[in-house]
């Protein structure tokens, strides 16, 4: 499983996923300029288990309320996508059907389309008033217990190198002020 994660094909696929919608960003162009070298370097770090995620960039946005955002560097996002390419399918059946975030064939547009189906049903084709609750769990990602999360992941993933990589990523978020 780990060898699959480290394959050039998987890393190039992960690059494609990570750069969608961001191809004009400076950091993407810089990585892409030496794509072969950068992918090979990342691959060697993963194969040697010397890969270390860079510290997260933490910043505040007002959207419409104030929230802290922790952003991984582009090369680390490639690793995240490479990981999901390999283990994502193991967890797909665990999610409810209407979970749309970070899933193949889903996303914001599909979520809006699904919402509109529910809205039409509940409002009887817009003939009846209906209400929507918009909620946000404060500091959700910061409060996830990493030991519990890893124990859940281990139920599906029995590759110790994959688990170690996930652990490195989680420790990086804790080091940057997020996650338990």
pLDDT tens digits for range 28-72:
999 999 999 999 999 999 999 999 999 999 888 887 788 888 899
Q: What is the dihedral of CA 76, 156, 100, 104, to 10 degrees?
A: 70
Give the pLDDT of residue 175. Answer: 54
Q: Is the pTM of this model over 0.85?
A: no
Give the pLDDT of residue 177. Answer: 52
- Tell me the average pLDDT across 83-104: 84
Query: What does the angle CA 11 – CA 101 – CA 18 come to, to the nearest 5 degrees?
Result: 25
Distance of CA 149 to the CA centre of its chain: 15
What is the per-residue DSSP string for 22-40? -TTSHHHHHHHHTHHHHHH
Q: Indicate the range of 30-39, 54-63, 82-91, 93-102 predicted with least confidence.
A: 93-102
- For 129-178, write each residue's pLDDT tens digit: 999 888 777 777 777 889 999 999 999 999 999 999 999 999 887 555 55
Give the pLDDT of residue 156. Answer: 93
Token output for 50: 């010397």
Question: Token pair 């996830």 is at which residue?
Answer: 144
């Amino acid at each position: 499983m780990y060898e699959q994660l480290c394959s050039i094909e998987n890393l190039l696929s992960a690059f494609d996923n990570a750069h969608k919608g961001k191809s004009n960003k400076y950091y993407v162009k810089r990585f892409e300029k030496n794509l072969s070298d950068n992918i090979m370097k990342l691959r060697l770090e993963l194969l040697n288990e010397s890969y270390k995620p860079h510290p997260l960039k933490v910043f505040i946005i007002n959207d419409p309320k104030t929230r802290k955002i922790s952003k991984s560097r582009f090369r680390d996002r490639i690793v995240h996508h490479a990981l999901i390419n390999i283990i994502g399918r193991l967890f797909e059946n665990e999610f409810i059907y209407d979970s749309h975030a970070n899933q193949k064939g889903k996303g914001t547009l599909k979520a809006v389309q699904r919402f509109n189906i529910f809205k039409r049903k509940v409002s009887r084709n817009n003939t009846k008033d209906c209400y929507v609750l918009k909620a946000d769990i404060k500091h959700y990602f910061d409060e996830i217990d990493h030991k519990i999360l890893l124990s859940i992941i281990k139920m599906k993933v029995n590759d110790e190198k994959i688990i170690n990589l996930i652990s490195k990523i989680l420790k990086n978020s804790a080091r940057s002020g997020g996650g338990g």
